[in-house]
Copies of this chain bind each other. A is one copy, B any other.
Amino acid sequence: MPSTKDGTLVWKDGLAFEGTGASGLTVRFDSTAEEGGGTGFSPMELTLLSHAACMSMDVISILRKKRQDVTGIEVHTHGVRTDDYPRVFTDITVEFVVRGRNVDPQAVARSIELSETKYCSVGGMLNKSVNIKTVYRVEEESR
């Protein structure tokens, strides 16, 4: 049986909406500061972060299963969008910086590949229209 997710948004003021999801947590959305808002996340900003978070959770989860001694992960994501409406992302580049002790770069590469091709739900939707590229770097934990 397919599972479901529900969410609710309530209009606050201007273009700002407060969202509540299945977790019970709330998040504020707004237009950007340049557009006269700036009191919350823009929907495209959170979509970009959600995609990177989806991949990041897969990566750390798989690296732990592979018994890699990971001490830190930092992820940078960069989206390029069209100027024409609907101003979609055409390209997203996700950069993983994995820090740890003797972390095998092949394990990192494999965890990213599994996320891209099998596990990441957000990517599984976006990759139908967005060119998604992933790069990574492994850094040795000093002492």
Contacts and interface: CB of A to CB of B under 8 A. Distances in A.
Copies in the complex: 2
Contacts of A25: 40-41
A118 B11 CA distance: 22
Interface in A90-121: 90, 118-121
Contacts of A9: 49, 52-53, 56, 73-75, 77
Contacts of A73: 9-11, 17
B5 A48 contact: yes
Contact of A126 (B15, B45, B125): B125
B74 A10 contact: yes
Given A5-B81, A19-B52, A23-B45, 12 more contacts: A4-B78, A4-B81, A5-B45, A7-B76, A9-B53, A9-B74, A19-B53, A23-B42, A85-B118, A85-B124, A86-B118, A125-B125
12 contacts: A5-B45, A5-B79, A7-B48, A7-B49, A8-B74, A17-B57, A29-B50, A43-B51, A46-B47, A50-B50, A85-B119, A128-B129
